Chains A and B, each alone.
Chain A
């Protein structure tokens, strides 16, 4: 097994290639039905735009168009788009050979991408409404490519059964099932990091592996009522806002007579009408958020399938994400301010080598906190150590930060003598106090010997639990004021999630202890000079 970004030639791998040459397939095309999808969607149009624009420009220069001409142009354009889509389909082939996925594409300039199957980290399958009608699927394949970092390959328009077969082919349990039967990701020993890139037993023919029946172990199945939490989550509230923004572009283009029934004029609103319309807007926003959540997360399902964590969700576009369980190194439990009031939470996994982690790593997109905790415990890891609070200096520092903006506004208001500014400043200052206290109460960290946890945030409180072996470095930061207060911030650098997880303003000794005791022998270099 080689590090991802170092040379991959030679070594034991060459033997394996020799064994498996016979198992390769010939290059295959996707289903021709995908031409229809490409021709019907924006995609086809986008590709044809440069040509069409040139054609229209030429027509515009060479004289006006009769209605006959317009029809002609439309027919020609449709033919061109379909032709392009057909060519794109014809020139796209994929093949699995020598434990490599080879994708060749490009109408004129060809691009051949070779992805070692062992490097594939996650497969994301999407079945949109058009795909569903035609019985097709779209696979997104994520691999850590040697040298160039992450790469994503897309195979669009596979017949559903072929897509399922290819997916299980590419993600076929590379670790022997016996290993997975005894230990989940949480109980995996620290040295399994080395195992995670191991290929299959070279002596074992590939076909034999797929014959073993794999039983799904269900971790979570969402209830429709959980979708009602959506208005409390910022990202779902953004859905109706984005929709409204998109639609508002067209409002000016519509005939004014369509809106003649609208008799309201905001400038003449009474206070009651104003309040009413605000309430109505908030209600609309909430309904929009729920509708958005329904489309995205309808019937969310999380199962363990062999060595894969598989999640399914979506109403019109059904999305299936498969991620290797040994790549899961921890989880983040997120609770927004509103969600905490109703004890709701979201759960995401920390997965090494998977980009676009936000949408790929959902373990529970929306649900009761108790369910999130239970999924985390069963699907990732048990972590029961209570979090250690941070010292009083941390509270003081949080309060100063949360109150300061209000105080500054207040000061400006007093200097200017403007009542409105003074009011805003006073309100902000007062609101800063509970915010600071809440931010302080979120702070905490703990370690249980195999993993550790850090927690922070008020508007979105995030608790991250991660295995020691996920850590690729530690950073300790101490400003002049932190040094005087006897606190330090310590950050775990990890190759998963957002890449850095901090315990803010921990007591100096605690911060050091957290870093030095999580990460193996090397981490103790922070304290003592190594003596081997």
Chain B
């Protein structure tokens, strides 16, 4: 696996530059699975995803803990037992999720801007590959959420004429996202088509 190209390389992307990025071992893994896009997302994405998982866990754990504290002793026995066990069981599961999922996602997520298209792979248990040709791009947006900003990350969203046809390259370094968006919108403008 290779790292994303430097901003300079991206900005000068042209078809001939594609070949130079191909490592010898990155051949198609056979016709039974789509090939992997070449570049990983920014490694600080692990931090962001971990933070998001922690927030999701707290969202559930705080009410669960509150429930176990405020359940009256006069409540039915099964309710007391459940509210006592629930926070601990949930915390154990969340701990595993928080430790494993972000790293797993980082291992799976890939993206690539090729000579003709944008190609992404997302998910962890279920995987989704999306390929959109640059000639069919209608708009390119860069968004930075408040959490992303903490980690210096950004998302490039590419929209097509299809209501279901938007692609997101999530968790890129902000500068790389800006470069990619700029590159894509320039190349989309050049194509000789009404993008439908």
- A: residues with CB less than 8 A from B are 1-6, 144, 193-194, 196-197, 327, 352-353, 472-480, 482-483, 486, 491, 493-496, 498-500, 508-509, 512-513, 515, 519-523, 525-532
Contacts and interface: CB of A to CB of B under 8 A. Distances in A.
Interface in B105-153: 114-117, 119, 125-136, 138-139
Contact of B117 (A5, A495, A500, A522): A522
20 contacts: A3-B138, A4-B196, A144-B196, A353-B161, A472-B132, A473-B131, A473-B132, A473-B133, A473-B165, A493-B165, A494-B161, A494-B162, A512-B31, A513-B31, A515-B131, A519-B133, A522-B117, A525-B116, A526-B35, A530-B114
B32 interface: yes
A519 B126 CA distance: 25
Contacts of B34: 476, 512, 515, 526-527
B31 A5 contact: no
A265 to B, nearest CB: 45
Contacts of B162: 472-473, 493-495, 499-500
Contact of A479 (B19, B116, B126): B126
Interface in B181-196: 188-189, 191-196
B12 interface: no
B125 A528 contact: no
A512 B32 contact: yes
Given A4-B195, A352-B196, A499 B163 contact: yes
Contacts of A478: 33, 126-128
Contacts of A499: 162-165
Interface in B79-100: none
A197 B194 contact: yes
Contacts of A193: 193-194, 196
B22 interface: yes
Contacts of B15: 530, 532
Contact of B116 (A495, A498, A500, A530): A530
A327 B194 CA distance: 11
A25 B34 CA distance: 56
A529 to B, nearest CB: 5
Interface in B9-30: 15-16, 18-19, 22, 26-28
Given A493-B132, A508-B31, A508-B33, 10 more contacts: A472-B132, A473-B130, A473-B136, A493-B165, A495-B165, A499-B163, A515-B131, A526-B129, A530-B114, A532-B16
A3 B193 contact: yes
B169 interface: no
Contacts of B177: none
A480 B125 CA distance: 5
B126 to A, nearest CB: 4
B61 to A, nearest CB: 26
Contacts of B134: 522
A496 to B, nearest CB: 8
A199 to B, nearest CB: 12
Contacts of A475: 128-131, 164
Contact of B115 (A4, A474, A530): A530
B19 A531 contact: yes
Nearest to B15: A532
A248 B17 CA distance: 70
Contacts of B131: 473-475, 515, 522-523, 525-526
Most chain B CB atoms below 10 A, which of A477, A493, A512 = A493
Contacts of B19: 531-532
B196 A5 contact: no
Contacts of A473: 130-133, 136, 160, 162, 165, 167
Contact of B119 (A491, A500, A525, A531): A525
Contacts of A483: 127
A513 B34 CA distance: 10
Given A508-B33, A522-B117, A4 B194 contact: yes
Most chain B CB atoms below 10 A, which of A194, A494, A500 = A494
Contacts of B26: 529
Contacts of A6: 188-189
B193 to A, nearest CB: 6
Q: Which 4 A-B pairs have the closest CB atoms?
A: A495-B161, A499-B163, A493-B165, A522-B116
B129 to A, nearest CB: 4
A5 B185 CA distance: 12
A472 B162 CA distance: 7
B107 to A, nearest CB: 15
Contacts of B22: 529, 531
